[in-house]
Structure 1
Amino acid sequence: MPDTITGWTRFQAAAAAGVAMTLAACAPDSVRNIEAKGFNAYLDSLKTACPNMIVGTNNISEWLRSSASTGDDDYVYWLDQTSRLYYRRISPAQYRTSVGAALGGGKADTRALDCIIQHLPADRPSSPVGGKLL
């Protein structure tokens, strides 16, 4: 009889733990770091500063109002890129290009992206508190 942990072999349990750790490492900094209070406050400020933000077919304002699911690939990508912008890992121009291209951006999306960039705090940090950027 194999050595099991609630029906799993030790190998299966170790493999599952390894996969979970790998996936956690791939999550955007804003999802992993619950101490990203400044970034979270910035996202909260966008709810009122930038109402009705649409990029492609994605309603960013609705994502912010409803705390969109991390299972939504577009939301996860937008959140990751916005985190990178906030923490000065990418420039506003890079943000426009990456988010616009990934979410189906066009000229109609310029207003939403402009508002997100315009409301960046000038004194924002270059990394999350207690966190490492990958």
Structure 2
Amino acid sequence: MASCAAALALTAGCAPDSVRNIEAQGFDAYLDSLNRRCPNLMIGNNNVSEWLRTDGSQGDSDYVYWLDQTSRLYYHRITPAQYRDSVIGGLGQGKSDTRAVDCIIGSLPAQRPTSPASDKRP
């Protein structure tokens, strides 16, 4: 998953710092943990678990949107309620997506940075 941020930087020039910054190791570790904690993640027709396993698909605007919103959540730029509304509203189909979004939010580390610059792990 460490290549996730670097790969997305090439395809999404306007992505937030958390995605452009290849040193966002805490965010990458969080994304890696989602496959273990939240197997078979589906939001709408999108297989989030597959995105995580393969570092997304180049040119997949749903993946770019999900990753952007998830990084905003991770770095405290949006609240869990805002994340839920934006992800289910943008990608989901309603109640069936609640389990996936609940798991993503529930897997957030208690202590997380507010920017990629403070996200460097030794």
Q: If the length of structure 2 is used for normalisation, what is the TM-score? A: 0.83
- Is 1:60 the counterpart of 2:29? The answer is no
State the match for 2:7 in structure 1.
none
Query: Which aligned pairs between 1:1-134 and structure 2 lie closer than 5 A?
Result: 24=13, 26-129=14-117
Q: What is the CA–CA distance in structure 1 between the aligned matches of 2:118 and 2:105, rounded to whole Å? A: 25
Q: What is the CA–CA distance in structure 2 between the aligned matches of 1:40 and 1:86, rounded to whole Å? A: 10
CA offsets 1:52-77 (integer angstroms, 9 cap, x no match): 00000000001000111241000000
Q: If the length of structure 1 is used for normalisation, what is the TM-score? A: 0.76
Residue type at the aligned position of 2:115? S
Contact 2:88/2:97 (CA < 8 Å) preserved in 1?
yes
Q: What is the CA–CA distance in structure 1 between the aligned matches of 2:118 and 2:102, rounded to whole Å? A: 30
Contact 1:28/1:79 (CA < 8 Å) preserved in 2?
no
Residue type at the aligned position of 2:98? T
**Higher relative contact order, structure no. (Cα contacts within 8 Å, ≥ 6 residues apart):** 2
Q: What is the CA–CA distance in structure 2 between the aligned matches of 1:60 and 1:115, rounded to whole Å? A: 12
How far off is 1:130 after superposition? 6.5
Gaps of 5+ in 1: 1-22
How far off is 1:129 after superposition? 1.6
Q: What is the CA–CA distance in structure 2 between the aligned matches of 1:117 and 1:30, rounded to whole Å? A: 17
Q: What is the CA–CA distance in structure 2 between the aligned matches of 1:106 and 1:36, rounded to whole Å? A: 31
Larger radius of gyration: 1
Say how many residue pairs are matched: 108
Q: What is the CA–CA distance in structure 2 between the aligned matches of 1:121 and 1:100, rounded to whole Å? A: 22
Cα RMSD, aligned residues only: 1.5
Residue type at the aligned position of 2:95? K
